[in-house]
Amino acid sequence: MAARRLLSHADSAPNPPRRRVRFTFDGREYDGVEGEPLAVAMLAADRLILSRSFRFHRPRGLMCDTGQCGWCECEVDGRPSVRSCQVPVRDGLVARSEHAWPTVERDLLGWLDLGSRWIPPTFYHHRFLRPRGLRKRYLDVIRGFGGRGRLALGRQAGEARGRVVQELETDVLVVGGGSSGSAAADAAAERGASVVLVEAVRDRARPSRPAVRVLDGAAAIGWYEGVVLALDDSTSWTIRAGSVIAATGSYELVPSVRGADRPGVIGARRVLDLVTSHFVLPGERALLIGEPGDLPDVGAALVEAGATVIGPVPAASLRRVLGRRRVTGATIDIDGLRRREAVDLVVFGDRTPNLDLPLAAGAAVESRDGVLVPVLDAAGRTTVTNLSVVGSAMGTATARDSGPVPTGRTLVCFCEDVHAEEIHAQVGAGYRDPELVKRRTGALTGPCQGKYCAQAFARTMADAGVPTDGLPTARPPLRPVRLGDLVPSGDSDER
């Protein structure tokens, strides 16, 4: 069982036929189709493991469809920790895995995961003090385990291609150009308001009214007291708006079971994109998990591509995903009967609202059936006066059955490999403040900044007896940004 390219589909691909390119990953040559994301080309070559998790070197691969989970990070052409699902392959591209020894496929440090029970986030608190003479050596060793990407030292300051800083004032700013965002922009323009729409994915925003000014390819990276900063390839936009509408959609809700981070557990929309746009079949035997939503389409596409499909089954019935280096099966409970299915692909459809803007703005969120959603009035306004939310970011289309509450050795935070029992241990030790739990466990502090764990964190805290409304303060930026992309152009030394 393996992931593979659907050659028959590729042959019938639309004109012009896409060119084959060759790139290297960890020194080995691979074929790809020009323009497809690096992570997709690797999947087509049945290379599922793209990175290792920070603490316990758990294998990770392509999972999300938003570019935000960070599980596919590797070094690309000398740049550290690049999300390979966002990088188009081309001839001569050189990619390397990070944070693994000797290779990301067979990382000996992966053995750390077997001992993770004895390496809690606070492992150093009462250790490494004796003998006195070895204190620095201990920390040198710990330091050696840290880090991820390599900093390319000795570069010349050539590129100095800063972003032009542009300030915009508008009545309405819509963040996100999907169907809800485009519709909201049109509606505002119809009322005679000046409207700016930012959308990170090019050619996606399709408002029908020409009066809507679209900043195509501009990603909103921060909310600063109502001012939104957005970046595209050439410009840094500072947008002051009378009102801001978040049409930012949703993120995958990774099932809260053990093994849910294994390569081969992939969100439904990404699977659909893989099969129907890139003609790559991510697995031969798939288990579909969650409320129907996108899943019937995914199931049909998989079947048409020749895969065997099981489900969809409710998220609550999934007990565990099996396999160490990739998915080899899953345990599900149906009508009280435990079944073990041999599958090489687990597709989950449940999603949670994207809370990035409401949280950054300091708007209230609440738990609805175990899912955090923004607190909204009848008009869709958050508790921050000039911020409202439309579409799936409201939480209307999210799962009502959010699956099991994470417990025991189930991961809550994937960036930092924080297990549910470690959060319980902190609360039990009297650290009930979410800010302290965050600091003591590292949960919510990794590169995804809580996008993929805020929900599980809140549910685990509630399970431990701390109300869910207490998420730690969100910090900008809304998404990771390369430092060089923040440089204003024509900048001179300020004195």
Partner 1 sequence: MTLPRTADVVIVGAGIGGLAAARELAARGVRRIVVLERDYPGSGATGRNVARIRRMQLTEGLCRVAVACQDKYERMGAELRSNVLFYRLGYAWILYDQGEVERMRDIVAMHARLGIRSALLSPADTLHHLPVFEGGEPVAGSVLSDDAIVHHDAVVWAHLDHLHRHDVTIRPHTRVTGIERDDSRVRAVLTDGGRIETPVVLNAAGGWSGELNRMAGVRMPNRPHRREVLVTAPLRRSIEAAVTFYRPSEGWFNQTLRGEVVMGAVDPEEPPGVDQRSSWAFLQRTAALMTRKAPALRDVTVIRQWAGMYDITPDHLPIIGPTAQLAGWWQALGWSGRGMLLAPYLAELLAEHIVSGDAPSMLRQFLPDRFPPTGDDEAPIETDYYSRYGSGSTSGSTAGSTSATVPPASTVTSSGKTTSKPGA
Instruction: List, in sequence order, every residue forming a beta bridge with 119; answer none if it has no partner.
Output: none
Q: Is 213 in the site for partner 1 (CB under 8 A)?
A: no
Six token digits for residue 366: 């609440």
Q: Answer yes or no whether residue 410 interacts with partner 1 by CB under 8 A.
A: no
- Residue 227 as a binder of partner 1 (CB under 8 A): the answer is yes
Residue 240 as a binder of partner 1 (CB under 8 A): the answer is no
Q: Does 439 interact with partner 1 (rule: CB under 8 A)?
A: yes
Q: Which of positions 145-164 make contact with partner 1 (CB under 8 A)? A: 146-160, 162
- Our CB check for partner 1 shows the closer of 135 and 338 to be 135
Determine the residue type at 315. Answer: A
Long-range contacts of range 176-179, CB-CB < 8 Å, 24 or more positions apart? 176/246, 176/247, 176/248, 176/249, 176/391, 176/393, 177/201, 177/204, 177/205, 177/206, 177/207, 177/214, 177/247, 178/204, 178/205, 178/247, 178/249, 178/391, 179/391
d(CA 117, CA 114): 8
Question: Residue 44 corresponds to which tokens in the numbers above?
Answer: 């087509």
Given 119, 436, 462, 464, the residue binding partner 1 (CB under 8 A):
436
Radius of gyration of the chain (CA): 23
Binding mask 102-121 for partner 1 (x = CB under 8 A): --------------------
Of 82 and 298, CB closest to partner 1: 82
- Cβ nearer to partner 1, comparing 165 with 316: 165
Whether the bond between 131 and the residue before it is cis, its omega within 30 degrees of 0, is yes
Instruction: Please list, in sequence order, all residues whose beta carbon lies within 8 angstroms of the beta carbon of residue 192, skipping any fewer than 6 positions away.
Output: none
Residue 226 engages partner 1 in binding (rule: CB under 8 A): no
Indicate whether 144 belongs to the interface with partner 1 (CB under 8 A). Answer: yes
Closest CA to 45 of 53, 33, 57: 33
Check binding of 493 to partner 1 (CB under 8 A): yes
Assess 229 for contact with partner 1 (CB under 8 A): yes
Report the interhelical angle of 434-441 vs 454-463 (nearest 10°): 110
Cβ proximity to partner 1, 151 vs 378, nearer residue:
151
163 near 488, Cβ under 8 Å? yes
Which CB sits closer to partner 1, 35 or 480? 480
Upstream peptide bond of 88 is cis (omega within 30 degrees of 0): no
Q: Judged by CB under 8 A, which stretch of 186-194, 301-309, 322-330, 439-447 contacts partner 1? A: 439-447
Residue of the chain from 13, 142, 300, 334 that contacts partner 1 (CB under 8 A): 142
Contacting positions for partner 1 (CB under 8 A): 54, 78-81, 124-129, 132, 135-136, 139, 142-144, 146-160, 162, 165, 222, 224-225, 227, 229, 236, 238, 433, 435-436, 439-440, 445-447, 449, 475-477, 480-488, 491, 493-495
